[in-house]
């Protein structure tokens, strides 16, 4: 029998569980988050495939290592330009086929799509593009925070997106859109988004952690947990998910020191959850050991990391730290995301169809 950390062994193990449970990836980016480019041409040869160039699309395949985290933005003088180039290559192809190919390889059933817009008008463009490019019952649509909208306009934007595009969630990347929770005007926009999402029964997914090397420098740490404590998360009655468990871009020591802040937030706000997306194994181990697993949801951060790699890294670490890994995997990758969906579904009739659960 293969060793437990061998990818084939892990996939067989989770596919057995997936045969009786709906397993979710709750953190997938349909487009590059740095450029927000959603201009693609449809493939003439493959339904659901959209491309930036004539290069051949190759479906994802298993590798041998779990530690390389893919295209993470890390500190360093040349890291931003290198990341931009790597991101363009990563997002040469996208669309429903690309995402479902990734899900199939990992043995997962559904994904929540989280676009990010950095400039005015891009969120609207992404809604149009997503409606065309990601039509598949396995893909749950989110929308980007609408940069440039006033607090009073955010509700109407999200209401329109919900009615016309059937969105489930809104993605709020404080670092990339330049919203600092320590600033009154930024906090007003953040909290207006929470109020709107609560009134419309939309999930909110908030980037948690640092984003090294982006410009302007002041925005790199907008999403760190010591700043997120300044937000009144109870303004939304719907689930709010702190991505990366608030630890993106942090050292292992920083992650350890930040997790008590995350747990304090969980104690204060019953609607808060966290996802495990794109964490290195050591940080992920601390999250799984120190955070209530009833408050955790699996996410990959694809396509910046292949879904299979993020998934198997998560499974591998979970098997190391959990006394009941099967129960905890089902809880984190199936029951907890379903609980989030259940909490918004009853108020949104279009979400009640079996294909959208």
- pLDDT over threshold 60, residue 353: no
Residue 172: partners with Cβ closer than 8 Å, 6 or more residues away: 145, 179, 190, 193, 204, 205, 206, 207
Instruction: Residue 281: count other Cβ atoms within 10 Å of its Cβ.
Output: 16
Task: Compute CA distances 12 → 8, 106, 212, 291, 324, whole Å.
Answer: 6, 10, 36, 27, 17
Percentage of the residues of the chain whose pLDDT score is greater than 90: 78
Kindly report each contact of residues 145-153 with a partner whose C-beta sits within 8 Å and lies 24 or more positions away, as own/partner: 145/116, 145/117, 145/170, 145/171, 145/172, 145/173, 145/177, 145/193, 146/117, 146/120, 147/117, 147/118, 147/119, 147/120, 147/122, 147/123, 147/177, 148/119, 148/120, 148/121, 151/188, 151/189, 151/192, 152/192
pLDDT band at 348 (very low <50, low <70, confident <90, very high): low
Q: What is the CA radius of gyration of the chain?
A: 19
Supply the angle between the helices 184-200 and 151-165 in degrees, to the nearest 10. 30
pTM of the shown model? 0.93
Looking at 93-102, 206-215, 222-231, 306-315, which range is the least confident one?
Answer: 206-215
164, 167, 172, 177 alpha-carbon torsion, rounded to 10°: -30
Residue 199 in this model has a pLDDT that exceeds 50: yes
Question: Which pLDDT does position 191 carry in this prediction?
Answer: 98
Asked whether the predicted pLDDT for residue 301 surpasses 50, the reply is: yes
pLDDT at 69: 46
The distance from CA 62 to its chain's CA centroid, rounded to whole angstroms, is: 21
Model confidence at 86, in pLDDT bands (50, 70, 90)? confident
Supply the pLDDT for residue 1.
Answer: 33
- pLDDT confidence tier of residue 155, bands split at 50, 70 and 90: very high
Digit-coded pLDDT (tens) for 102-136: 999 999 999 999 999 999 999 999 999 999 999 99
**Bridging pattern class, strands 50-51 and 41-42:** antiparallel
Residue 206 in tokens: 């908030």
pLDDT bin (cut points 50, 70, 90) of residue 162 is very high
CA dist., res. 309 & res. 300, Å (int): 8
Interaxial angle between packed helices 281-290 and 252-268, expressed in degrees from 0 to 180 and rounded to the nearest 10? 30
Query: What are 144-147's contacts with CB under 8 Å, separation 24+?
Result: 144/36, 144/115, 144/116, 144/117, 144/170, 144/171, 145/116, 145/117, 145/170, 145/171, 145/172, 145/173, 145/177, 145/193, 146/117, 146/120, 147/117, 147/118, 147/119, 147/120, 147/122, 147/123, 147/177
Q: Which of 53-57, 292-296, 323-327 has the lowest mean pLDDT?
A: 53-57
What's the pLDDT tens digit per position in 56-84?
999 999 875 666 544 455 444 456 677 77
**Of the listed ranges 41-45, 140-144, 210-214, the one predicted with least confidence:** 210-214
Give the chain's domains with CATH numbers. Answer: 7-348 (3.20.20.140)
What pLDDT does 324 receive?
96
Which segment of 61-75, 290-304, 342-356 scores lowest on mean pLDDT? 61-75
Q: CA-CA distance, 131 to 158, in Å (whole number)?
A: 15
Q: What is the pLDDT of residue 76?
A: 46
Nearest partner of 152 among 192, 108, 102, judged by Cα: 192
Mean pLDDT over the full length of the chain: 91
Name residue, tokens 């988050």. 33
Q: Write down the pLDDT at residue 213.
A: 79
The total of other beta-carbon atoms located within 10 Å of residue 5's CB is 15
């Amino acid at each position: 029998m293969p060793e437990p950390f061998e990818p084939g062994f892990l996939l067989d193990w989770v596919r057995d569980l997936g045969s009786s449970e709906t397993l979710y990836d709750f953190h997938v980016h349909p487009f590059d988050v740095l450029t927000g480019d959603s201009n693609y041409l449809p493939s003439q040869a493959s339904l659901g495939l959209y491309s930036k160039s004539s290069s051949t699309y190759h479906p994802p395949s298993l590798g041998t290592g779990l530690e390389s985290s893919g295209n993470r933005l890390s500190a360093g003088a040349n890291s931003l330009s290198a990341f931009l180039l790597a991101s363009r290559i990563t997002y040469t192809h996208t669309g429903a086929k690309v995402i479902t190919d990734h899900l199939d390889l990992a043995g997962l059933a559904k994904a929540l799509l989280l676009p990010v817009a950095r400039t005015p008008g891009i969120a609207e463009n992404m809604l149009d593009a997503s409606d065309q490019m990601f039509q598949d019952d396995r893909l749950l649509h989110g929308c980007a925070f609408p940069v440039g909208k006033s607090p009073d306009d955010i509700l109407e934007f999200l209401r329109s997106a919900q009615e016309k595009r059937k969105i489930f969630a809104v993605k709020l990347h404080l670092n990339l859109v330049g919203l600092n929770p320590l600033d009154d005007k930024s906090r007003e926009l953040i909290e207006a988004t929470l109020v709107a999402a609560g009134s419309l029964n939309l999930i909110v997914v908030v980037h948690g952690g640092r984003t090294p090397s982006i410009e302007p420098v002041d925005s790199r740490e907008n999403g760190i947990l010591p700043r997120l404590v300044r937000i009144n998360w109870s303004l939304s009655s719907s689930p709010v998910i702190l991505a990366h468990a608030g630890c993106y871009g942090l050292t292992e020591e920083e992650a350890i020191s930040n997790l008590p802040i995350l747990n304090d937030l969980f104690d204060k706000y019953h609607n808060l959850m966290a996802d495990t997306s794109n964490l290195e194994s050591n940080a992920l181990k601390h999250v799984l050991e120190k955070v209530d697993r009833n408050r955790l949801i699996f996410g990959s951060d694809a396509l910046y990391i292949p879904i299979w790699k993020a998934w198997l890294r998560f499974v591998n670490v979970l098997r190391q730290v959990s006394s009941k890994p099967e129960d905890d995997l089902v809880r984190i990758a199936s029951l907890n995301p379903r609980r989030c969906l259940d909490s918004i579904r009853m108020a949104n009739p279009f979400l009640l169809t079996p294909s959208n659960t």
